[in-house]
Homo-oligomer: A and B are copies of this chain.
Amino acid sequence: MGAKRSTASTIYDVAALAGVSHATVSRYLGGFEGIRPGTRERVAHALAELNYRPNLSARTLATNKSHRIAVLTGDLTSAGPSLTVQGIARSARAAGYVVDIVSFDVTDPDSLADAIGLMRSQDLAGVIALTISDAMRDAISTVHIEVPMHLDSGPADLPGPVGTSFNAAGIHLIVDHLASLGHRDIAHVTGSMDYFAAQSRATAFAEAIRNNELPEHPAIVGDWTSRSGYEALQRSLIHESVTAIVVGNDQAALGILRALNEAGISCPGDISVTGFDDIPEAEYYSPPLTTVRIDFESQGTFLFATLMSEIEGTPAPDGSQFMQPKLIVRSSTAAPRGR
């Protein structure tokens, strides 16, 4: 098992070629100033000649410092997590960190244990956990991970406008938009309630309804897939009086749109529909979807910066400089005309 590592050149090879001791090379590498120009030159030359790369395993071992972080996630397929990972990976590379992606099967508790075990042997500087459900959080909190760790679940934990979250802010944007259009009976199709982000959106929805003094309708539990949106409507759980549906994300909204279409209910004529996330496809739905734009990639940047602040003691990033959710009005919402 395992691959033989290449026989790359070591610091000793470099030292020999440059005719100095390995300590000098080490100093050069460490950015030490006091090296005579001639020596410095020879070292630099030897380094280039041998295409030297420090062996990070050895360095990590010796310094007891690591430049690797792990992202723990159960789902890379959805737009949110994968964009967030991309954002994390980008800023990590810029900071000289590598990101391990540790995935596990959401349906298999053992795989989480495996994943955590793997992480524990990896000399990590920190970990960011994405797409976290309650069950996962519990599982994670029972094990002892000795490094800084951030739990996150989509936009849920990010600071929004005024001490609120991006999720909440976005949902308020949506509901206010609908209310200002004249809608009163508004339904909500949630994502899987296991996930923080879905919970957060659902809570914000109920809150926004109350703020606008609108009648409350029970939430319809979905799971963020197009299928779940489609089926939510098939089960005709929508009350007659409802003129607008706030869907937990764009994919599920697509399913709703499809079901409406098949039922001969016009959108936005009879019912307005909204999404969440603003995935690139939302603009091309029929009709183009009114939704909220979330900048997942900069979220990843934010998460990484936050983790860095803990790891290296740098100042924590200012959440407010990250893009706020933004209402994108397209054609799937209109004033209600009654049914």
Contact = CB atoms under 8 A, between A and B. Distances in A.
A22 B53 CA distance: 31
Contacts of A255: 284
Contacts of A284: 226-227, 229-230, 254-255, 257-258
A258 B287 CA distance: 8
Contact of A103 (B86, B261, B285, B311): B86
A115 interface: yes
Nearest to A103: B89
Nearest to A99: B101
A60 B118 CA distance: 14
Contacts of A4: 64-65
A118 B89 contact: no
Nearest to A71: B101
State the number of copies, please.
Answer: 2
Interface in A192-245: 225-227, 229-230
A146 interface: yes
Interface string A101-117: 11111000001001101
Interface centre among A93, A258, A283, A311 (most CB of B within 10 A): A93
A324 interface: no
Given A65-B5, A146-B7, A93 B77 contact: no
Contact of A281 (B57, B61, B121, B226): B226
B66 A77 contact: no
Contact of A251 (B63, B64, B147, B280): B280
A20 interface: no
29 contacts: A2-B125, A3-B65, A3-B311, A5-B65, A5-B123, A6-B147, A7-B146, A51-B144, A55-B121, A56-B121, A57-B57, A57-B60, A57-B61, A71-B101, A76-B82, A76-B89, A77-B86, A82-B82, A90-B103, A93-B102, A93-B103, A93-B111, A98-B118, A100-B101, A227-B280, A227-B283, A227-B284, A229-B284, A258-B286
